[in-house]
Structures are given as C-alpha cells and as structure tokens.
Homo-oligomer: A and B are copies of this chain.
Amino acid sequence: MTPDEFRHAGHELIDWIADLREGIDSLPVLAQVDPGEIRARFDATPPHGGDSIADLLTMLDSDIVPGVTQVQHPMHFGWFPSNATLASVLGDIASSGIGSLGISWESSPALTEVEEVVCDWMRQLVGLSDAWRGTIHDTASTACLVALLVARERASGLSQNHGGVQGMDAPLVVYTSPHAHSSVTKAALLAGYGWDNIRTIECDERMAMRPDALAESIERDVAAGTVPAVVVATVGTTGTTAIDPIAEIIQISAQRGVFVHVDAAMAGSVMLLPEHRHLWDGVEGADSVSWNPHKWMGTILDTSLFYMRDVELLTRVMSTNPSYLQSSGSGGVTQYRNWGVPLGRRFRALKLLFHLRLDGIDAIRERIRRDLANAEWLAGEVADEDDWELVAPLSLQTVCVRHRPEGLEGAALDEHTRRWVEAINRSGAAYLTAAELEDSWMARVSIGVETTERHHVERMWELMKRAVVASAGDARWA
C-alpha cells in the first residue's frame, strides 16, 4: 500500500471510527453473539487479498462490531472502566504511523526519552517523589510479574546468576490478600515460588489486609526457616476497590527486609486528585508501584505504568545486553529492554502525551470527580432502598450491591443475583459484573466510562430495580 492509498483509506477509516463513537449508545453493550458465531463469518482458509478499504469497513460493520462488547458505551458498568479516549487514540495512531522500533536507545532515542519524560510527568501528577523512575508495561499483570521476579532475586542474592531459584535452601514466600487480583497468584506461580509458598493474609471487614495478620504470618515463616520475600499490597481491589493499609504493611515488611509491591492498577487514577492521596499514605516506602492509565484515566490500552526506586536492581534482574544491541557513544542512556520482559517495544508514550496535551489534566481530573460523585449518589440510593444492600464500603467508583428480599439466602440468593444481572447484560441495554465476594454473589456497578453522565447512572439504577422484580417473578422463592 502506497502512502497515497493510505491517505485515502485512512480518511475513510477515521470517519468510520468517528461514526462508531458517535452512535455507540445505539449499540448493545454486551455483544449479542453465541460462541463460534463470529468465527463462522470468516473463511476457514486464508484470504487472497485484493480487498479495498470499503470492503474492510463493511466487514467491520457486519462481522466485527456485532461481536464487540462495547466498553466505551456510556451504559457499560462492567469489570473496571477501560476508556480509550479519542485523544489517546490519536497518540496511538501517531505511534503506528511512525512505525518506530524500540529495542535500544539508538533504535529510537525519542521513543526512549519521551517515555522517560512522560513517566516522570505521570509520577508528578499522582504525587510520587522524584525517588521513583517509571516505564510503561502492557498490563499490571506483567508489572506484577516483574516485581515478583525482582523481589525473588533480591531475597535470593541474585540466584539467577547461579543455580536459580531451584538452588534455594529455604523457600521464598509471597504474601498477599485474598482480594488481590488474580494476576498476583499467577505471577507468583510463574516466578516459581509455588502455591505452597503463597500466603493469603486475613482481611478486616473493609476487605483490607490486616497488618497484624501479616506480621504474624511473616514471623511464623521466619521461625520455620522460610524466607519472607515479597508482599503485594493492593490499592483498589478488583472485587470491591478495597484499600490495603500501605503504611502499616511497609513498616512490618521493612523489619524483615521484605520487598513491597503496590498494585494500584485501578486506584492510581484517583491519585491524580490530591484530596484522595491519603488512600496510599506510605507508598513512598514501597519498592515498586504500578497503575493503569488505561483504566479509569482513559489512555487507551495498553498503558500500564510501573515505578521502581532501585532501578539498578531492576535492570540487573531484567538485563539483556548482547553486542548487536549496544548503542555506540551513548553511555548513560536508558535501555528500557532492561526494565521488562520484551526486547522490542512500541512508542507507547505518545498515547499519554497526546491524551495529556489534547484533553488536559484539568478535564481528566474533573471527569474523575464526576464519577466519584455519581458512585456516591448510587450508593446513597441503594442504601435508602428496602431490600437492597451495599455489600462493601464505597471507596472509589465501584458500587457493590445485592438485592436481598426478606427470606432470601444462600444458593437461592446467589441464583437471584446472577439471574437479574444476566437479564440486564443479555438485554444489551447495560452491562454490570456479577462476582463472588466471600462465597456469595454480588453485583458490581463500576462507574467511570468517559461518556457516562449522571443520567446514565440513574437509568442503570432504574434498570436494576426493574430487573430484580422480573427475576423475582421467575423465582421459586417468589
């Protein structure tokens, strides 16, 4: 394809995207397709080519969009917000168009240095001190894996340079909360710690890790001759956005030299608001911190920030340094290949740069304040209504609720919850998540799509109240 053909096709595609976003609220939120239905629309054998952009746009309309759950839809309240703001989409397009290759400083000095600049801007915007240096990973799962690898190597005296973690005399141990993201356990298993060496620390009634239980668990391990290696603390758990007590966790960990990784994937966005930074008080003492602008803040996926204080340790553990990647005459430059798993990287910093410059931080902050207020409003409505309950304290923008009519309990209540949530989701009118919390099911209404205004939240609440009546009409207990 020539640049001129691209110019023509690109304009068509931009218009198609603008139209999609303009009309998004007429689409169902949940993709209304059965398993295999989208796959069946494509030939089983490879295409020969020769299609035009018009053919491709027709395909997007007829075969792709119907299979996409519209997380940019104002009635999407599922999982966590995954905003792909159009300002950041432009940054992503610029990155694609430039087609830069990040494998060393020399292969794209701008890719490297703009990532440094933008990570430092983001550091300042969430109030972290200049002791931290940052990079962009694809997701917080990857960031957590990197943190657990670095912690493993710190606790084992760089065992990778000898017999590996295989050669350890006493096992290294990971501590986290039962409400931590599934990626924490996954990262611990991938890093080789083993299931037997993951401690799930008891939580309080706010679903936050109990510092006394953590201290006891660490001391038990020390007494048993095992080696406490790392605590993963969460600021904004996936289920209920609970906040682990960072300062106390760090104080306890410091006594035994335990590495602390703070997973603020979701709550990082609220740290853009100075009035909420008390939620991670003590974070300066952590060893690493990650948070995802690609969630609530809205810099399109994949934009996950990862900060460390001891970059020398990080780069010793993650280093890649063959001769064909040495940059001539460029001592002292940052080589991001030594900060993570992949060698090659895209120019992801442009997404953040465009987002900040086009939308502006003030507008982003206002939007986050709007969402917090909307969540407070909904939580108030739920609390005021008979038969409804908040099942977790509201700490950010996710409202965790249950409809619990008199006499409904146990399996029947779970069935009711899942049924009314699914009824809303299947309708396509809105989407929210059913999730397990301490062995029973709840509904999570996670507010924060860029286009979600108060009236959308009001409409969601109406849908919920109607759905539970319909569900009750079907139910055995009704």
Contacts and interface: CB of A to CB of B under 8 A. Distances in A.
Interface stretch (A28-36, A208-216, A277-285, A387-395): A28-36
A5 to B, nearest CB: 7
A15 B42 CA distance: 32
A82 B11 CA distance: 25
A85 B38 CA distance: 26
A17 interface: yes
A203 interface: no
A258 to B, nearest CB: 17
Nearest to A191: B192
A101 interface: yes
A378 B17 CA distance: 45
Contact of A13 (B97, B117, B124, B197): B97
B89 A96 contact: yes
Interface stretch (A68-76, A369-377, A465-473): A68-76
B6 A109 contact: no
A46 B125 contact: yes
Interface stretch (A242-250, A317-325, A403-411, A453-461): A317-325
A219 interface: no
Contact of A139 (B9, B141, B344): B344
A188 B211 CA distance: 35
Interface in A39-94: 39, 42, 44-53, 55-56, 59-60, 63-69, 71-72, 78-79, 82-87, 89-90, 92-94
Interface residues of A, number: 164
A384 to B, nearest CB: 27
Contacts of A194: 159-167
B56 A358 contact: yes
Contacts of A60: 94, 98
A195 B163 CA distance: 6
B45 A6 contact: no
Nearest to A24: B3
A64 B192 contact: no
Contacts of A356: 46-47, 49
Contact of A4 (B18, B50, B330): B18
B30 A4 contact: no
Number of copies: 2
Contacts of A121: 45-47
A84 B95 CA distance: 11
A22 interface: yes
Contact of A109 (B3, B69, B85): B69
B361 A46 contact: yes
B166 A193 contact: yes
A163 B167 contact: no
Contact of A162 (B17, B196, B350): B196
B195 A192 contact: no
Contact of A167 (B4, B11, B196, B343): B196
Given A93-B96, A363-B49, A343 B196 contact: no
A444 B324 contact: yes
A379 to B, nearest CB: 19
Contacts of A56: 90, 94, 354, 357-358
Given A164-B197, A358-B56, A89 B99 contact: yes
Given A6-B89, A22-B3, A99-B89, A196 B163 contact: yes
Contact of A90 (B9, B78, B117): B9
Contacts of A110: 31, 33, 38, 63-68
B14 A7 contact: yes
Nearest to A163: B194
A273 interface: no
9 contacts: A38-B110, A65-B98, A65-B110, A68-B100, A69-B108, A71-B107, A139-B344, A163-B196, A182-B343
Given A181-B343, A186-B320, 17 more contacts: A35-B105, A38-B109, A46-B121, A46-B361, A47-B357, A56-B90, A60-B94, A63-B110, A69-B100, A79-B324, A82-B99, A89-B97, A99-B301, A139-B343, A149-B190, A183-B343, A322-B435
